[in-house]
Amino acid sequence: LLWSLLAALTAIVAVAAALAMVLSARTAGPIQALTRYTRELGRDLDAPTRRIAGSSEIVELCAAFNRLIDDLKRSRVHLVRASKLAAVGEMAARLAHEVRTPLGIIRSSAQLVDRQAGLDESGHEMMSFMINECDRMNQLVTGLLESARPREPVLAPADVHDIVHQVSDMLRERATARGVTLGWALNAAPSVIDCDRDQLLQVLLNVMLNGIQALGDGGRLQVSSWLDGADLCLAVDDDGPGIPPTRRDEILEPFVSDRAGGIGLGLSIVREIVIMHHGRLAIGDSPLGGARFTICLPRQARAAA
């Protein structure tokens, strides 16, 4: 009987030890894997997140950690963007004071000289160059000021299709000079939304101008509209080279431009205006073969188009 009891006790101890080792491996293994995972992300926050297999508690803990990492990444992006905008604000304030006043004097002087009767054709051409360059510099300063101090939109009913046609008329001469064909597929009905008309005009002007500048001779640019539930969506499509997925978020940041001579503020201003309208801005592939900019804004239409 004693030997039987000892054998049973030994068997029980062996089974208990085996179960303890199994349970320890199932618990300690995932914890060790989670520890290594946290150390890796501590060294490189941009490392891809992953899931750790194990008990429900370990899986939930890993999911919570991944959400925390995603929040940290978004916070870092917002901090970088805020620092850039702060730099833009400081630069804009200085440029507005230091550049605009002498620019206005130079432009007025050039206009006075241009009205002189004895000025030959070459002189008139030079004065025209000076006036145009002064206007261009003033537009750059204005763009810096608008990106640094975006004002709150003043909402009022406005017909989006009228704004599209107005912007198209403004850009028609430039598009013709570059051999770009403008087209429309405006299917939203009603097309009246509550928006800041001037800001929405600036959004379309920047996006369409960006598309025209990206196209070569014989290019095509099309503006489409449709209703998406409570939103009215606009899409600006082109058949140009397109925008790689890895660049689509980057080009919306201030001071990022693929165009020679550009300062990279047009699309960042577009994003800020769309956000202030509680809308959405997305960049994707166009059915025409190039890039597509999609802008969706709450419509709350008060009248039919």
Q: Looking at residue 264, what is its pLDDT?
A: 57
Q: Looking at residue 235, what is its pLDDT?
A: 96
For the segment 107-133, the average pLDDT, to the nearest whole number, is 84
Q: Looking at residue 254, what is its pLDDT?
A: 66
For the segment 243-271, the average pLDDT, to the nearest whole number, is 73
Contact predicate 296/233, CB 8 Å = yes
Model confidence pLDDT, tens digit, residues 173-207: 888 888 999 999 999 999 999 999 988 988 998 89
Provide the 8-state DSSP code for 245: G
Q: What is the DSSP string of 189-227?
A: SS-EEEE-HHHHHHHHHHHHHHHHHH--TT-EEEEEEEE
Model confidence pLDDT, tens digit, residues 61-73: 778 878 887 888 7
Give me 250's structure tokens: 């980057």
Model confidence pLDDT, tens digit, residues 90-115: 666 666 667 777 888 888 888 888 88
Give me 68's structure tokens: 């925390």
Beta bridge partners of 184: 223
pLDDT at 303 over 60: no
pLDDT at 249 over 70: yes
pLDDT confidence tier of residue 221, bands split at 50, 70 and 90 = very high
Q: How far apart are CA 169 and CA 259, in angstroms?
A: 23
Model confidence pLDDT, tens digit, residues 2-38: 888 888 888 888 888 888 777 666 666 777 777 777 7
Give me 186's structure tokens: 């405006």
Q: Looking at residue 13, what is its pLDDT?
A: 86
Q: Looking at residue 224, what is its pLDDT?
A: 96
